[in-house]
Amino acid sequence: TTSKVLHTNTGIIGTMGTGKTQFTKSLVTQLLWETKNNIGSQPIGILIFDYKGDYIKDDFVKATKAQVYTLDALPYNPLALDVHENALSKLPLHTASSIKETISTAYGLGNKQQQTLRDAIMNAYEERGIDKNDKSTWLRVAPTIADVCKGFLENENITQDSLYAALITLYEFEIFEPDATKTKSLFELLSDGVMVINLSGYDESVQNLVVAITLDLFYTQMQKTGHSKIEGDYRQLNKMILVDEADKFLS
C-alpha cells in the first residue's frame, strides 16, 4: 500500500538452509498466479538473475512457465537506442558512456582504457551510420557488443591489458547476440512473464558484468515506459527484478 511506502523494494535475508530460495520461489509464483488482483489485472514481468541455478529447476519453471536463458547470445542489445519524445540529446553518446562506466567498474579500467572503450563504442555507432547529433539516424539498426569488440580487436596497436581481457571475453563467449536484427527489447522479452538469466558456471566478473549491463538497459526502458498506475492506496506492479545472491553484485 502506497500509504506506507511508494516503492516495492524488498530484501530477503537469512543464514544458510533457512529457506530463502524456497520462500522467494513461492513469492514469485504467487505474484504471477494472483495478477487478477493487480490494478487492471496487469501481468507482471519478472527478471531473475540466477547465480546458482536455483531458478532453472523443473518445479519452478513449470509453475511459472519461465523462459530460461544462458549466457550465450542473450537476445537483447545493450547498445540499442530507446528513442522517445523525452530521450536525452546526443543519446548514442549517453548510451556509450553508460556501457563504458559499467564495463570499467566490473574490470577496474583506468582513465585511458575508459576513453579507448568509449571511442570504440562511438566508432561502432558511426559504422552503422548513427550520428550522435542527428536524431533521424538513431532509428537505424544499432551496433552490438560484438561489433564494438571486433572493431577494437582489429586495431593493430592494442595491448593485452584489462580492457582487452574484458572485450575478448564478451566477444569469444558471444554473451550477447551478435546480430542486432535477431534481438528484441528487454521489456518485450519480459512481457511473457518470468525471464531467468542463468549465470551459474561463469566467472564472477562476467556474472556481475551481465547483471550491470542488463540493469542499465532495464532502467533506460523503465524511464521510457513511465510511471505505473496508482489506484487509491495501491500501485500497479508491471516489472520486477530479482537478484539472487545480491551481496555478490552489491559489493
Q: Give the DSSP H or E segment for 239.
A: strand 239-243
Please count the other Cβ atoms lying within 10 Å of the Cβ belonging to residue 116.
19
Q: Give the DSSP H or E segment for 50.
A: strand 45-50
3-state class (DSSP) for residue 129 = coil
Sequence-separated (6 or more) residues with CB below 8 Å from residue 95:
79, 81, 121, 220
Q: Which residue has the cell 512473464?
A: 193
Nearest to 120 by CA among 154, 86, 74, 81: 154
Nearest to 102 by CA among 7, 24, 209, 19: 209
* Residues 78 and 213 sit within 8 Å (Cβ to Cβ): yes
Distance CA 45, CA 126 (A): 34
Taking the chain (251 residues) in consecutive chunks of 10 residues, what is each chunk's mean pLDDT?
Answer: 84 92 95 94 94 94 96 94 82 92 88 93 96 93 94 84 87 92 92 92 88 90 85 91 85 72
CA 159 to centroid of chain Cα atoms = 29
Distance CA 158, CA 182 (A): 30
Which residues make beta-bridge pairs with 46?
A: 194, 240
